Amino acid sequence: MRIRTVALLIILFGMLVVLSLTYAQNAPEASEKGKQVYENSCAHCHGVEGRGDGSAAENLLPKPRDFTRGLYKIRSTETGQLPTDQDLFDIITEGMPGSSMPPWETALSANDRWEVTAYIKTFYDGFKEAETPPKQISLSGKVANSEQSVETGKALYSELGCVECHGNIGRGDGTSAPDLTDEWGDQSWPANLTQGWNFRGGSDTEDIFKRFVGGLAGSAMPAFEGDSFPGFGLTAEESSRMIELDNKDEMTEAEEEESAQLYEKYDAAVDIALNLAEGTELSAEEKQIYDDAMKVVYEKSWHLANYVKSLMPEKRPEPAIGNNVLRSQYVQGELPEMDDAAWGTLEASYFPLVGQVVIEPRQFNPTVDAVNVKSYYSDTEVAFLFIWDDRTHTTDETDEETGKILEDALAVQFPVKVPQGPTAPKPYFLWGGRLPVYLWHWKASAPEQVTELTAKGISNAEVQEAQGELKAQGTYTEGQYKLWVKRALKTDDKKDLQLDPGVFVPIAFSAWDGANGDVDTKRVMTSWYTFVLEPVPSSKRFVYPPLIALLSVGFLFGLRAFVQRRNSEEV
């Protein structure tokens, strides 16, 4: 009995400890322990003094955070506010997807993560000087996701100028995308809003809302002050009426009057916001106007968050590994051309790309996330559709350092000869070695052309003598490349790969983003994956199963007859 009581007490105590750790809102006082954890696990990127200048920082983009400025991108707090302790703790715990900040949840105990949170705060005096806790963004007015909310958000997306950086449909391909820098002067690529898995602070609607309302401090993403909203101080109907009137070529007298009234209301509200920002006390009436205006702004921000959420798939696609290989589907007759609706019905295989960090010059900060591939084949030919996102359309930029021409490109790699059996050697995954690879090399400057190469190493590729066996068509629209390629299954060229249905063929990819400085070995790539011309299912599947079923019926009746005869003989 006593043992049981003790055990119960221990369990209760354990639960209490877990609960207190989970719900702790504030970090402990900075301690020697925090410093030790920091120097052991964080300083190599963030620097011993927290300036974001550790030994690894040089090769990283986004750069590791400089803690001495107190600027934090991922916060639950309003514009201009410091993050809460919980915000910092969460980032350490969960990491920042799409960057080199890993999740520390398993590597560091919760206690260590709290200690390090406290230590990080010592790099910026503002944390100590702050008299009141940072003001958190209220999530209470959440607008549920609906078709209408998404539509409203979409209109706001262009009204607020999001397109300039994030592009018309959110692929991060806006006109100013390549020129953005952060507070420290480093390149700051706008998010591709269709790839939620790369959102540093998570891609839930609430996360998006917080990023939008609070801003990503230090980055090129502005914080949306209420008065930067078109029609600040107006109701939703009034502001859309104002825009409608603005867009009219000619207004009647009554309309001019109406427009002037709306502008007056708008200007008054903006003035109040400016006064507030300067620290002026507001009158009760002004405060009411301001609060009402902010309510509309928050509601609009939810619409915008709902719209951004609608741009991305629910989760990152599964990579085409294991049995989930790229399967080319058989069609009779002509293969679909590039714009054929047949491509739409086919699910793409997803090949995530990583930086080429094996051979100098290396690419540590890839900008192309993945290439999606679809394929059909007929009795004589095979066609592929390669789809990948790239924020910029680069065809002939000159690299300032090397003088080399930078341009966007894609290469598809096969072995020249398919290895026979699972243990047979493959060519080296980086463009071959002792065993050669067969390559299709496409460049954005010549979108109708694919060059066939034979390579025995990443810097040892030869253009094949016989060209013109491939038909190609490439397009760039809204931050996305599409490349359609067609080739005969069999060619006369001995240096080409010959294709047969049912044979599993190794396949790999390389991609270059000219605007990211990709050229030659500096590129993104994959290791070997697998591709197969999926054989048409055998018609035997309609013959043998019924046959076996019939035989089994015959066997059962035979058995019964046998037993009956034996029984009667025994009798």
Partner 1 sequence: MKKLSLFTICLIILVGSWVFLRFVVGGIISVPIPGSVIAMYMGLIVIAILVHISVEDSLFREFRRPILETLVDDKRRLHRRVLVVLIPLLLLGYTYLIIAQRANPPGSPRDAHPSPPLELTYKDEVIGTMQDVVNPFRHYEKDDPEAFKAHVENGKRVYHQNCFYCHGDHLDGQGHFAPYLQPLPANFQDPGIIPNFQESFFFWRIAKGGPGLPAAGGPWDSAMPVWEDTLTKDEIWDVILFLSDYTGYQPRTFGEAH
Closest CB 331 distance from partner 1, rounded Å:
17
Closest CB 539 distance from partner 1, rounded Å:
10
CB distance 408 to 512 below 8 Å: yes
Site for partner 1 (CB under 8 A): which residue of 333, 541, 569, 571?
541
Closest CB 108 distance from partner 1, rounded Å:
8
Q: How far apart are CA 93 and CA 178, in angstroms?
A: 31
Closest CB 118 distance from partner 1, rounded Å:
20
- The residue range among 16-24, 52-60, 274-282, 378-386 that interacts with partner 1, by the rule CB under 8 A, is 52-60
Q: How far apart are CA 408 and CA 482, in angstroms?
A: 12
Please identify, using beta-carbon distances, which residue of 102 and 178 lies nearer to partner 1.
102
Please identify, using beta-carbon distances, which residue of 468 and 546 lies nearer to partner 1.
546
Residue 56 engages partner 1 in binding (rule: CB under 8 A): yes
Please identify, using beta-carbon distances, which residue of 13 and 544 lies nearer to partner 1.
544
Residues 333-372 within binding reach of partner 1 (CB under 8 A): 352-355, 357-360, 364
Closest CB 362 distance from partner 1, rounded Å:
9
Please identify, using beta-carbon distances, which residue of 345 and 423 lies nearer to partner 1.
423
Place of tokens 């696609």: 317
Residue 459 engages partner 1 in binding (rule: CB under 8 A): no
CB distance 534 to 503 below 8 Å: no
Residue 548 engages partner 1 in binding (rule: CB under 8 A): yes
Please identify, using beta-carbon distances, which residue of 13 and 557 lies nearer to partner 1.
557
Please identify, using beta-carbon distances, which residue of 41 and 205 lies nearer to partner 1.
41
Distances (CA, A) of 471 to 329, 387, 442, 468, 477: 19, 17, 11, 7, 20
Residue 274 engages partner 1 in binding (rule: CB under 8 A): no
Please identify, using beta-carbon distances, which residue of 12 and 561 lies nearer to partner 1.
561
Which H helix or E strand runs over 284?
helix 284-310
Q: How far apart are CA 58 and CA 365, in angstroms?
A: 11
Residue 556 engages partner 1 in binding (rule: CB under 8 A): yes
Place of tokens 């209420």: 226
Site for partner 1 (CB under 8 A): which residue of 33, 51, 69, 426?
426
Tokens of 392: 């910029």
Residue 429 engages partner 1 in binding (rule: CB under 8 A): yes
Distances (CA, A) of 508 to 4, 152, 291, 488: 61, 42, 56, 20
**Residues 6+ away with beta carbon under 8 Å from 469:** 452, 487, 488, 491, 493, 496
Helix axes 110-121, 2-23, angle to 10 degrees: 30
Site for partner 1 (CB under 8 A): which residue of 421, 468, 492, 569?
421
CB distance 135 to 77 below 8 Å: yes
Residues 498-537 within binding reach of partner 1 (CB under 8 A): 502, 504, 526-528, 530, 532, 534-535, 537
Residue 376 engages partner 1 in binding (rule: CB under 8 A): no
Site for partner 1 (CB under 8 A): which residue of 33, 35, 44, 51?
44
Please say whether the dihedral angle defined by the alpha carbons of residues 312, 154, 340 and 342, taken in this order, is positive or negative. Answer: positive
- The residue range among 122-130, 133-141, 283-291, 560-568 that interacts with partner 1, by the rule CB under 8 A, is 560-568
Q: How many residues bind partner 1 (CB under 8 A)?
A: 67
Please identify, using beta-carbon distances, which residue of 46 and 265 lies nearer to partner 1.
46
Buried residues in 413-440 as b, exposed as e (16+ CB within 10 A): bbbbebeeeeeeeebbbbbbbeebbbbb
Residue 315 engages partner 1 in binding (rule: CB under 8 A): no
Please identify, using beta-carbon distances, which residue of 221 and 326 lies nearer to partner 1.
326
Distances (CA, A) of 288 to 58, 142, 282, 285, 291: 50, 21, 9, 5, 5
Tokens of 378: 């007929």
Residue 564 engages partner 1 in binding (rule: CB under 8 A): yes
Three-state SS string across 201-268, please? CCCCHHHHHHHHHHCCCCCCCCCCCHHHCCCCCCCHHHHHHHHHHHCCCCCCHHHHHHHHHHHHHHHH
Tokens of 402: 């090397």
Which positions touch partner 1 (CB under 8 A)? Answer: 40-41, 44-45, 54-56, 58-59, 99-100, 102, 104, 106-107, 319, 321, 323, 325, 327, 352-355, 357-360, 364, 421-423, 425-429, 433, 435, 502, 504, 526-528, 530, 532, 534-535, 537-538, 540-541, 544-546, 548-550, 552-553, 556-557, 559-560, 563-564, 567
